[in-house]
Structures are given as structure tokens and as C-alpha cells.
Amino acid sequence: MGLSQSIQNALGGLRATQTGIELAARNVANANTDGYTKKTLTLDNKVIGDRAFGVQVGAVTRQVDRFLQTRIQSEYADFNKLDVQTQFLDYVDNLFGRPGADGSLDTVVNSVSTALVDFANAPQMDATRQQLIVNADYMATHLRDMSAQIQEMRQNIEQLIGVAVTNANDALSNIARVNHQLATFGEGAGTADLKDQLDNYIDDLSALFGVRTIEANNGSVKVFTQNGILLVDSNAVYLDFDERANIGAGQTYSLDDTERGVGTIMISSSSSSGIDLLQQDALKSGRIAGLLELRDTILTSAQNQLDELAHGLASAFSTNIVAGTDVTVGANAGQKLDLAALQNGNVVEFDFKDNLTGLTHKLSFVKVDDPSLLPLDDNVTAINGDKVFGIDFSGTMASVRTQIEAAINSQNSNFTTTLVGASEIQIVDDGAVGNVDVIGLTGYQTVSANQGQGTALNIFTDISSIGEINYTNALESGGQKVGFAARIQLNSAIANDNTLLVKHTTATSIGDQTRAADLLSRFTETTFVFNAESGIGAKNSPYRGSLDGFTRQVVATQTSRVERHKNLRDNQELVLSALVGRMDAKTKVNVDEEMANLLNLQTAYAANARIVSVVKELMDMIMRM
């Protein structure tokens, strides 16, 4: 090897060590930079033909465990979902209060129970009547305030979803841009820093919603939702969120766009448009998924619980339970019931026994005035196992009888249904044949006046668009129960004249305890069946209990839910931290290692420089000869 070749080798070594020193300096400078991975320099023996010609500087590379990285992105998405939900559940928990604490929902409801006891013991005293009114009014106000705050949270979440979708579009756009750069430079072009950028953008996207990626040879990636919808290839899709304003209890998510009252997320791109990610159930983890579940499930459930409580409070005091009258028609036995006092949403229950099977059955007839609501779902009532039929009362009573007869015949054709007088429905069995027996015919009727209809009383009413109305659980206009907690109020007539709490007739004396005792019994002793759509109990096992018992269950449910989410989030954080620690050990810059490497490079640089110096001296000697 000649001197000229020696000096070329040494100069190549100098260039290689210079590049190595520059890279070590960059590693040290970025030791604490998020998303930066340790870079290493690839050096190859430069061979031409059968001879070595020094060192060849290759690409700058990085060491990344793809499997571990994918796992971290998945766990990160799960953590962000739990984290944002826990933040809002903390607000909900504070709103409902801790069981038995001052200002908690169950304490407020229990204050009405206490006032009812004092009132029942001394109804003639204005002070006990007025205290009941004060406590009942405060409870109604408390329910309205709670409902307003829940809907305010849902509105804030709607806005946060819009912000998150904007951030997702930024991440998708950046991923597509870096993909283009990687494809332009090609494989082996030293694109390690670009790949770091790409990973950072994918991490940003994973925090918002879970994704899957497929890496190409040049380092670019295809990005998919977890259920396989393509988001980024050579180009990125655009996510469109039709944010809604003025969200209330009646504005919920629906697969039917004509009924949907909140925003949804659509994909828009040149090759794919009109894909609703919510309809496709594509967002299962990440911050956006957590916000959507809060908006559409968790907070909706909390509102349903308040509405169910408000429904129970109003119905408990205002409902007359009217048992049917026994009748016989020859050998046929049964019952009849006057339907004249039924209001929209009121229910008539028909119980019968099929003697051929030994089974008993319950049919529930719900009064409606809007035939477009029919047929009704069995979940309209809270009762387990009943078959629900909507009965359109907008026509004649003869039409009502025909509908009831058709409903009964659809379940068992051995009964005879007739209209007696103007408004009484009569149902009798098959007599001597003995295939069926009528067990009961019961009406649940909301009183329409404050006096003259027994001891029931509309203590709570509904603030509707047309003014103050009685609460009857009507199904028209989306359902009166929906958002009722936001509209419940103390009956203004009672607020103006507290003697109505006692005088169930105009002739009742102020010291009469009949209505007072009945109101107390309705609130504290009556067992109610609460609808499982409130999130308490299940359809096949609904919660049964008193109003204050249901309230305690609601408060305990909210408390346990936030504790459960906190535990899940904390456990997820531990898992994520452990995985990140393992990844950092493999990819993060170790300053001590870099400094040791720098000393080696310094020695190599000095050695190569010495070779250059020696060769130069030898060449000078030759030139002087």
C-alpha cells in the first residue's frame, strides 16, 4: 500500500470519527428530549475489487423494539381513556356527594322524609307544613341544579371532542407528511430522526384513539383504526365532527341521524367518505373514546338516575292505585275497571293465569294519544317479565276496547273483553272450560286535582314549555321522564296554600291526619320498582325499594364507579410506566456511555491524525531527496 493510499485511509478515519463525535454530541444534547432515541453510526470496511480502501460511513440508525413500542401505544390509549373519565367522574362524585354526607343527594332526600314524619304527627301546625314545603322545594331545586351541571359537563365534553378531533387531524396530516419524506429519501438514507418524528406523531394519535400500524421497508407506515379502517397511507383522511350546541337531557346519540342530538365523527377523504366512526364502533380507546363514553353513557346514566328519582318522587305522591271490581257473567268470572281517569303515560296491568301451563302472565297497557309511538318496547315499564302494549286513546272508547282485546288475544285467546257503560273495560275468563283465570286488573292513575280524588297529591309538578303541568310519565314528545329532573318543581298551589297538604277535600279539617299519614307511607314504606335504564338493577332483576333506598343506591353507585375508575387508571399507569421504563432502557441516551464513546472517538481521531502527520513527514522526506 502506497503512502497516498495510507493518507486516504487516515483521512477516511478522520471523517468517520468526526461524524461519530458530532453524533455523540447530538445524543448528549437530546438525552432528555421526549421521543428522541439513541442514534448509532454504521461503519463499513470500504472494499473495491479485492482490496480494502479504508472506512465507509453508513447511515445513522436507531434501536427500537417494534413490539414493545406497539404495546406502549396501545396501553397509552387505554390510560388516556381511563384518565379523562376519572377526571369527570370526580366531578360527578362531588355532585352526588358521599353517602350520608351533608349536602349529598341522599341527605337532601332524607330531609323530606324527616319533615314528613313531623308533619304526619302534627298536620294542624303551620310550622310542620311549612317545613315540609321548604324541604321539598329545596330537594326539587337540588335535582334541577344537579341535572343542569350534568348537562353542562356533557356540553363541555362535546367541545373537548371537537378539540381532540382537530388534534387528531393534525397528527394524521403530520404522519402523512413524514411518510412522504421517508418515501422520497428511500431505504438506508439515514432517516432515523424522521422516524423519531413519525413515532411521536403516532403517539399523539394513540393518545386520542387507539390505532394499528403497518411499517413499510422505507420506514413509512399505514395507520388504521383498531377495527381496520384506513386512516393514513400516502395521504391522510380528514375527520369531521359536527359539534352541537345547547345539549340537554333529550340530546343523545342515536344510530339514526334524524334522532341524533349530539355530534358524531365522520371520515372524509378522496377515496373514502361518509364513514361514521361511531356507527362503526371504531373508537375503543384513547381520550376521544373516553369522552364519547362519558357524553353518551356515563353522564347519560347519571341523568337517567336523577330522572328516575324525580319520576319516583312525583309518582309516589300523585298516583292512585285502583283495583278492578270483581264481576261474573254467567259462568265466566273476571274484573272490570273504569279507564276514564287515566292520563297519558298511566298504566293498566292485567294479570292472568294459564291453567294449561300453570304460569302467570302480566300485560301492561300504557295510555298514549300519539299512534306513531306504537308499538311500545317492553322496557317502557320497570316490571320484569311483563308484556307492554301501547293503547291509543285518541279515538273512541270502543277503539280502546278493540285494542285491548287484540293485545290480550295475541297472548291468550280465551278471554272476553267488553266495554261496560261509557268507559269501563271488563275482562272475563272462559268459565267452565277453565283454561285461564283472571287474577287482577289494576289501574295506576295520576290525580288531576289537589282535592276530591282521594289522599294522593301532586306535590311535585313539571315545568313544561306550556307552563306548569302534572307529571304523568307521558310518552309523547320524547317522553316526559326524559330530563324531568331538570324541570321538577314544587306544586305552586301547595306553595301558596300549605293547607292543601292536609285538606284532601274542601270539608277536611286542618287537624285531619288521613292525607298526612298516607303521604308519609307513600314516601317511606311503599316499595317501588325502578326502571333498569337508570343503571340501577337490571331488567330481569329491577331494583325494588323505597325512594330513599333508591337514592342511597344511586349515591353509592356513583361513589363506587369513581373509585373503580381510579383503581383501573392507577393500575394502567403502573403497567404503562413499566413498559416505558423497558423501552427507555433500550432506546434512551445514556450520557455515561456517550462520554465513554466520545473518549474512544477522541483517541481514534488522534491516531488517524498522527497517521496523516507521519505520512506527510515521509512524503516531505521523499520530496527533499
What sign does the CA torsion over 45, 46, 48, 51 have?
A: negative
- Are 209 and 289 in contact by the 8 Å Cβ rule? The answer is yes
Where exactly are the structural domains of the chain? 3-63+590-624, 68-94+151-301, 342-446
Q: Within the chain, which residues score under 70 in pLDDT?
A: 1-4, 10-11, 13, 44-54, 56-58, 186-190, 269-273, 615, 625
Q: What confidence score (pLDDT) does residue 528 get?
A: 85
- Are 71 and 582 in contact by the 8 Å Cβ rule? The answer is no
Task: Give CA separation, 237 vs 142, 213, 230, 277, in Å.
Answer: 46, 15, 8, 12
Number of H helices, E strands in the chain: 12, 23
The CA distance from 617 to 559, in Å, is 85
The CA distance from 318 to 291, in Å, is 39
pTM above 0.75, yes or no: yes
The CA distance from 306 to 249, in Å, is 11
Q: What confidence score (pLDDT) does residue 357 get?
A: 96
- Are 428 and 416 in contact by the 8 Å Cβ rule? The answer is yes
SS3 content of the chain, % helix, strand, coil (to 5): 50, 20, 30
Percent of the chain with pLDDT over 90: 69
The CA distance from 176 to 186, in Å, is 15
- The residues, any chain, with a CB within 8 Å of residue 337's CB and separated by 6 or more, are 322, 324, 325, 348, 424, 425, 441, 442, 443
Q: What confidence score (pLDDT) does residue 273 get?
A: 61
Q: What confidence score (pLDDT) does residue 120 get?
A: 96
Q: What confidence score (pLDDT) does residue 599 get?
A: 81
Task: Give CA separation, 556 vs 105, 435, 520, 536, 552, in Å.
Answer: 10, 47, 24, 11, 6
Q: What confidence score (pLDDT) does residue 54 get?
A: 65
Peptide bond into 375 cis (omega under 30): yes
Condensed to tens digits (0 to 9), the pLDDT of residues 167-180 reads: 999 999 999 999 99
238-241: strand order across its sheet: 238-241, 265-268, 273-276
What average pLDDT is seen over the chain?
90
Collapsed DSSP state (helix, strand, coil) of residue 249: coil
Condensed to tens digits (0 to 9), the pLDDT of residues 404-427 reads: 999 999 999 999 999 999 999 999
CA atoms within 13 A on the CB side of 473: 26
Cell digits for 531? Answer: 326502571
